[in-house]
Structure 1
Amino acid sequence: MFAVVCTVLALALLYCWTKASCNNRRLPPGPSGLPVIGSMHHLVLKRPIFRWIHRLLKEMNTDILCLRFGAVHVIVVASPEAAIDVLRKNDAVFASRPITFAAGSFSFGYKCSSLSPYGDQWKKMRRVLTSEILSTSMERMLQCRRAEEADHLVRFHIINLRHVSRHFCGNMIRRLVFGKRHFEDPLLPSSSPPPDAAAGPEEVAHVCALFTLLSHLHSFSISDYIPAWIGLDLDGHRKVAKAVMETLNRLHDPIIEERIHEWSSLRRRGEKREARDFLDVLVSLQDSEGKPILSLDEIRAQSAEIMFATVDNPSNAVEWAFAEMMNKPEMMQHAIDELDTVVGKERLVQEHDIPRLNYLKACIREAFRLHPYHPFNPPHVAMEDTMVSGYYVPKGSHVLVSRVALGRNSDTWDAPLEFRPERHMTSNTTHVLLTEPDLRFITFSTGRRGCPGVSLGTSVTMMLFARLLQGFTWSKPPNVQTIDLKESTTNLALAEPLCFQVQPRLPVHLYGSI
């Protein structure tokens, strides 16, 4: 109780000071809020918060919104022009990230790239990620593993598409980071699952933990704005974060520690070997004196970050694209025809085919536009007072770019709520890309905090989509005339996972030889 009282008094003083400093400066429009706490009470009353925020944008007829949670201003931008102000013109000002309990927990104390505030640690890990992990040579070396994982997609006959898509992404990123699809069974320590085995309990727990992490990472927790109240765990996020990290540490740590021991032994013997996966790269990095560059926690944090950054957008985009296309058979047929023309039916589609699959890429672009997995980009923090779209943004503000509002903006898009892949293909289009340079919607973002894994993300998404389309003839379940496109009440995923009946459509040897 003492902590609560002290916090309220501190907030009251800060509120008075902030109000005085902002009196002569025009903040973006927003609800007036209550004295001291602002709109903090809505964090409890209006869940899911992202839907309440988008209702406010609509009701107030604005493309930029200001909310005050305690002493923190949260600025939401919802137009390409405002997004360009944040992510391009003022990129250096908004290059930091907020300090939150979830981000700190999931990053082992801000040891990875995407969640770290601006500073030396972020620069170090960003350099490791861009120059080592996501280098062109590493991408080429691991291409065969991505292809092998895609081969497993032609094994199914009845498909729960959400399960298949999420576990494809989970298997893929485990192969790239750890060099294997499966974790060892703790009950059978001397045995390993066959390489083509389906997801077992540990793999299911792993993917579930990654998606739970993502759902709580930037979720408007009360303690994000009043850190002194973390211990109260008023919204239960601390308990969830603890459970997630227990699962990830239990599964990741034995592999990481074994690999560190292996590379330490190699160093002592003066021996070297080629890095075979992302973990090898992280563990093997050394300075001019031959000492490891990264600590154990930095390796743990960066390994986890690569995983949770890879599983969500590809699986969600593919599920939504299939849902939309199953209701429009002409679109499905157009995509199949393109695959048959570019690739044929005598071999499986490969990564080198992707540049010529423009209609398939247009379908995924449209899924990214209309059905983002996350309602907002990860929050940016203003490192100094600045202006966005003519409005004052105080230092320390959290700035959110709305993926939903950008992609469904009627000023930018004709019939924005309709799924129309052809809108991304014009007579001048030679190559369709998944990136969006004009920020009319968000895929991989841009600027200092943009996703450095554009190439990897494109490959994972397109191979998942193309292999499923090429490998099977799809049909709706019995007694289902139309796929229900309703969103979940708590997030932007489909309310119900898609289940389809499928039949192989390629020569049998392409399935039997895998």
Structure 2
Amino acid sequence: MRNRNDTIMTSHYALLTMPIPMAMAILLLLAFLYRIKKQTAMAAKKKRNQTELPPGLPTIPIVGNMHQMLMNKPVFRWIHRLLDEMNTEILCLRFGHVHVITVASPEIAREVLRKNDAVLASRPASFASRAFSFGYKNTIMSPAGDQWKKMRRVLASEILSPAMERRLLGRRVEEADHLINLVYSQCTNKNPNGTVDVRHVARHFCGNMIRKLVFGRRHFSAPPSNSGDDEVAHIDALFTALDYLGAFSVSDYFPALVGLDLDGHEEVVNGLMNTFSRLHDPIIMERMEKWKVLRESNDRREAADFLDVLVSLEDAQGKPLLSMDEVKAETLEIILATVDNPSNAVEWALAEMVNNAKVMKKAVHELDVVVGKERLVKESDIQNLTYLKACIREAFRMHPYHPFNPPHVAVADTTIAGYLIPKDSHVMLSRVGLGRNPRAWNNPLEFRPERHLNNASVVLAEPELRFVSFSAGRRGCPALSLGTSITMMLFARLLQGFTWSLPPGVHKIELQESPTSLQLSKPLLLEAKPRLPLLHLYVAH
């Protein structure tokens, strides 16, 4: 048997005895193959360097970082603490088999929602989102697919159409007038010192407004009960639901554990669904029966509210386009999406402004110049209330209600900021990290509306994603116009109608966040006094 050296020598001899052209060809081929191999190796090494996971904590098999998540509550504060401690604007944690990536940089956020918009257009499954969407039959919570496209089309082209917005102007005006009357009665009759719970007023204005737009009524019972117990229960349930939608539950990352309710979320969510069913279902079922009769009699009527739109839509065969569960799911989604950001932004803005007399004076002066004191501010005035919009932009920037936007799920492997984002990863934009990013904002913890006055036209949206108000991309909120109207009318009516000051014995509002959320730690209590000269402006019409 020949040894290895014999084989090598034989190969070299064969090569040397070959005709020169053939030998040259083989040499060139070998050189070419070596070069290809080297380039391939270099490309693979470069790819590995470019497609590492974003920075994060070491993980353990199966669990990932789940054990750390369970030991660090609230989770959103732990994640933001890690971003600061690791000095990074993109962070990767693994809960179970799911990579959860947090982005706190405007540049990376734009890469998420522009360059990677299509591949990050889906949503994750969770017990709460499945329950509140009736099995993913609505828009915001549904994963990418035909159902999402269908409901998105209904929401954008039917519910939030310019024609529908104009049609419901009168109902929005009614609620804005009711707001003035409500605060007036509280500060003149019920409380001798004029103290008003701004959080209660703001949340119930938003609740009244969206119930009027969706159901055509402010109250659930007719005639309404004096105590308003159903309306209070409704608002409480809505805000609790919003908090649980953003919670980090063990079963969301280990679906096999659904039913064990290890962290108590399932019991709460089921209780909330009972409340929504009790309050919403009778109205929805009655309305569906009404439109069934109208359809059978070929009676074509104009939709009077959002619920009318949902139950009156027809397919190509003239049958209802949406099932009962789809109507219930979209109804709840619209209501949930309306109440949190406007009420929270206005409460924080007033808290900041009461502590800053200069800002308050400028805002009230703008109202007096643009609107005056002889009439109440209207939606048509909003475009000219530049400083007030700057105040709300600043509240959105500094004090979001939610620490993260709803997660985006990667439908395929992709890269963001040079890092690998594996398929099925959850990518979240940090509203806190973006809005308080010192690279994007000078003195980010200072409430300074003037920073938003650089543009000729001030709007509440932020397309450059230096903070998140209405988000962007395929999963962005389509209700920019309606959301702006509700937020600005709440803010402007409160500032125009009343002088706001610290309650007796209080020297300053403590601008502290709640330990478990981004809300003001205590509901904002302020002294309110009517400031308009004409009494009839405060009387409900």
- Aligned position for 1:131: 157
Task: Report the equivalent of 1:31.
Answer: 57
In structure 1, the residue matched to 2:362 is 334
Q: How far did 1:289 drift?
A: 1.6
User: Distance in 2 between the 1:244 and 1:212 partners?
Assistant: 8
Residue equivalent to 1:477: 503
After superposition, the C-alpha distances for 1:178-232 in whole angstroms (9 at most, x for unaligned) are: 0000001xxxxxx5128xx7x7000000011110100000211111100000111
What aligned pairs does 1:193-204 form with structure 2 within 5 A after superposition? 193=224, 200-204=228-232
The answer (yes or no) to whether the contact 1:356–1:431 under 8 Å persists in 2 is no
State the distance in 2 between where 1:500 and 1:403 align. 28
Contact kept in structure 2, 1:78 and 1:405, CA below 8 Å: yes
Partner of 2:202: 165
**Corresponding residue for residue 106 of structure 1:** 132
The one of 371, 377, 380 aligned to 2:405: 377
Asked if 1:510 corresponds to 2:541, the answer is no
Superposed, which structure 2 residues align to 1:143-154 within 5 Å?
Answer: 143-154=169-180
**Is the Cα contact below 8 Å between 1:176 and 1:278 reproduced in 2?**
yes
2:277 maps to which residue?
249
Partner of 2:219, secondary structure, is: coil
Unaligned stretches of 5+ residues in structure 1: 1-20, 185-190
In 2, the alpha carbon distance for the partners of 1:228 and 1:131 equals 38
For 2:140 and 2:540, how far apart are their aligned partners in 1?
Answer: 40
Number of the residue aligned with 2:421: 393
Q: Alpha-carbon deviations, 1:348-396, whole Å to 9, x = none?
A: 0000000000000000000000000000010000000000001000000
Alignment of 1:4-153 (within 5 A): 25-153=51-179
| Partners of 2:379 and 2:489 within 8 A in 1 | yes
Note if 1:460 corresponds to 2:486: yes
1:261 match? 289
Question: Matched residues in 2 for 1:307 and 1:416: separation?
Answer: 32
Distance 1:79 1:176 in 2: 36
2:38 corresponds in structure 1 to none
Instruction: Looking at secondary structure, tell me which structure has more helix per residue.
Output: 2
Letter aligned with residue 51 of structure 1:
R
CA contact (8 A) 2:177 2:540 kept: no
Quote the Cα distance in structure 1 between the aligned partners of 2:495 and 2:401: 21
Deviations 1:291-340 (A, max 9, x none): 00000000000000000000000000000000000000111110000000
Return 5+ residue gaps in structure 2 as ranges. Answer: 1-46, 188-194
1:179 is the counterpart of 2:207? no
Q: CA deviation at 1:452?
A: 0.4
CA distance in 1, matches of 2:395, 2:50: 43
Provide the rounded CA distance (Å) in 2 between the counterparts of 1:79 and 1:351. Answer: 34
What is the Cα deviation at residue 479 of structure 1?
Answer: 0.8
Matched to 1:383, the amino acid is V
1:413 aligns with 2:444: no
Q: Counterpart of 2:259 in 1: which secondary structure?
A: helix
1:424 matched to which residue of 2?
A: 452
Shift of 1:33: 2.3
Identity %: 64
Alignment pair present for 1:311 and 2:339: yes
Distance across 2 between alignment mates of 1:69 and 1:512: 55
Equivalent position amino acid for 2:107 in 1: E
Q: Distance in 2 between matches of 1:358 and 1:293?
A: 42
Residue identity opposite 2:399 in structure 1: H
* 24-33 vs 65-74, greater mean Cα deviation: 24-33
TM-score (norm 1): 0.92
TM-score w.r.t. the length of structure 2 is: 0.88
In 1, the alpha carbon distance for the partners of 2:51 and 2:429 equals: 22
1:447 aligns with 2:490: no
Q: CA deviation at 1:41?
A: 1.0
Is residue 238 from structure 1 mapped to residue 279 from structure 2 by the alignment?
Answer: no
Largest Rg, 1 or 2: 2
Alpha-carbon distance in 2 for matches of 1:351, 1:512: 19
Distance across 2 between alignment mates of 1:513 and 1:303 = 28
1:208 aligned onto 2:236: yes
Report deviation, 1:42: 2.2
Aligned length: 483
